[in-house]
Amino acid sequence: MSETTGRTPTTITAWLFDLDGVVTDTASIHGRAWKRLFDGYLERRAGGGAFEPLKLPEDYLAHIDGKPRYEGVRDFLASRGIELPLGSPDDPPGDDTVCALGNAKNDWFNEVLAKEGVPVFDKCVALIDRLRAHGHKTACVSSSKNCRPVLRTAGLFEHFDAIVDGTDLEREGMRGKPEPDTYVRAAEQVGATPAEAAVFEDALSGVEAGRRGEFGLVVGVDRGAGAEALRANGADRVVADAGDLIDDPLVTGTA
């Protein structure tokens, strides 16, 4: 664990966890689905000529990770100088709109989950169990509309007092990460102010959301973004796994 801002909160009552890459090991599945989507699209666009494939994890971390699905499509395409019309969430999977591409990616992601199941980070789950045993509130915060189904499949739905995901973001008109709206909403749902809440994030856009929301503690989980980048974007501490904090005084109530 690395202290980075000098902030030392004495009381945290609510613990807010991103899903992919923090609670579940689904970020790698997302990455595979994005690569399949964009490599196929770019190859078709090049008409059989040379094209630059999506690079994992670099392109995923820089342009897609932590963002709502259609924003990830738009931002990656923009990095390649490509602009498509947004279209409608009802667009069938295809190449004509941002939504059509995003829907194709979602179909592939769910196909892999159906075949392989949902891998979880056991140390993080152990931390959540300890937090709840000590009377803390927990919430899952994700830009993904797949959040609730993934949690149910993993048997983790009941581990959280509140869930705020991509469906809520769209319905309530919230802004996606790096804006703090979804984390602020989750804190409200468990009766905490941002100053009383901790954010766990592996995405640069997510730790930035924690910083912008002025949360009491922002923990960067380094799944490839890099400790330095996580700190630069707002992490107070950087850990290899959220579960590394299981014996922290803030968790056990001895701070």
What is residue 106's DSSP assignment? H
Q: How far apart are CA 72 and CA 244, in angstroms?
A: 30
CB neighbours of residue 8 within 10 Å: 10
* End-to-end CA gap in the chain: 16
Structure tokens at 93: 């999977």
Continuous segment of H or E residues that includes residue 95: none
* Catalytic residue flag (residue 241): no
Continuous segment of H or E residues that includes residue 111: helix 98-116
**Contact partners, residue 201, CB within 8 Å, separation at least 6:** 18, 22, 66, 207, 209, 210, 218, 219, 220, 221, 235
Tokens 């954010």 correspond to what residue?
Answer: 199
Length of the chain: 255
* Catalytic residue flag (residue 20): yes
Q: Is the distance from CB of 2 to CB of 231 less than 8 angstroms? A: yes
What is residue 143's DSSP assignment? S
Please identify which of the residues 20, 168, 202, 241 carries the catalytic annotation. 20
Please identify which of the residues 18, 91, 165, 236 carries the catalytic annotation. 18
Q: How far apart are CA 68 and CA 175, in angstroms?
A: 9
Which are the catalytic amino acids? 18, 20
